[in-house]
Copies of this chain bind each other. A is one copy, B any other.
Amino acid sequence: MNNEKFVFGVDLGGTAVKMGLFSRDGELVEKWSIPTDKRDKGEHILTDISKSLKNVMRSKGIDKEMILGIGIGVPGPVLDNGVVNSCVNLGWGVKNIEKELSEISGFKVKAGNDANVAALGELFHGSGIGYKNMVMITLGTGIGGGIILNRKIIYGSHGAGGEIGHAVININEKEPCSCGNYGCLEQYCSAGGLVRRAQRILSESDKDSVLRNVEVNAKSVLDAARDGDEVGLEVLHFFGARMGRFLADVAAVIDPQIFVVGGGVSKAGDIIIDTIRDYYKKFAFHACKDAEFKLAKLGNDAGIYGGARLILNK
């Protein structure tokens, strides 16, 4: 094992820290996770991560010299110098995570925002293989995004690169978004946005719908749409028109080759991709109409794969 080299990919979430040991080719050797200890303003987290990585090294007979570094995604804005501006979920304020984790572990560290790092993982090991300019959209409770240009994460000047969930698409919205603004993409196209729209249609009309007899959530709404339910389809097209138009505008700015869609809502599958693509083609600038759309492949592993790539692709 003497000439072998390894890298760690870490995905730091509010509940669990997912970790992976990767070969120098970026192939996963082993993955595991530990709970996120948020006590004392999250001050134990980096030490816990370091200990866990070293336990795995010990159990596998891996020496310090064989480790190229640690790439880590964190749930907050990260500047390209490794400074996290704040991770509300973890209790962190401003923190130079690269420096701190490097001092604790003794390894080189590169950090990024979790959604951005997951996008990098999809580019190198998932649906983005072979592409260099990609936009990833994660549709879940909220909407996350990651912009990859020339195979590198766009961190943004304030660590807000890829914060597409908080693009404002409706200046007349009266209900606030979780971010404090009004009319963010997330308010319409996240799982919660789909539910909000369905409930509004159900309460404001007497349209017949299976959704009157089941719990209204993103899955039941999209299942209903797939079955041709009138209300389900109305929500689907409401969603598709907004996502498609927004992504067409993204194309008019950075003109990517491919859009990769992940997150819980994307589990509905082709109906999501096909609907977004149809509206995208309607609204996109002519030169950009042939951009590709694919479902994400790596699921919850995207973050650790991307973490490894932060080190391997420096």
How far does the Cβ of A215 sit from chain B's closest Cβ, in whole Å?
Answer: 31
In the complex, whether A160 has a CB less than 8 A from a CB of chain B is yes
Interface extent on A, as a size class? Answer: 35 or more
How far does the Cβ of A246 sit from chain B's closest Cβ, in whole Å?
Answer: 8
Closest to A283 in B: B168
In the complex, whether A256 has a CB less than 8 A from a CB of chain B is yes
Residues in B with CB closer than 8 Å to A164 are 252-253
Q: Is the interface of A mostly helix, strand, loop or mixed?
A: loop
Partner of A160, one of B85, B168, B169, B255: B255
The 0/1 profile, CB within 8 Å of B marked 1, for residues 243-262 of chain A is 00110111111111100000
Q: A160 touching B283 by the CB < 8 A rule?
A: no
Give residues 144-165 of A contacting B (CB, 8 Å): 145, 147, 149, 154-165
In the complex, whether A287 has a CB less than 8 A from a CB of chain B is yes
Which 4 A/B pairs are nearest by Cβ-Cβ distance?
A156-B255, A167-B249, A167-B252, A160-B255
Chain A residues near B (Cβ < 8 Å): 77, 85, 133, 145, 147, 149, 154-169, 171, 179-181, 241, 245-246, 248-257, 283, 285-288, 290-291
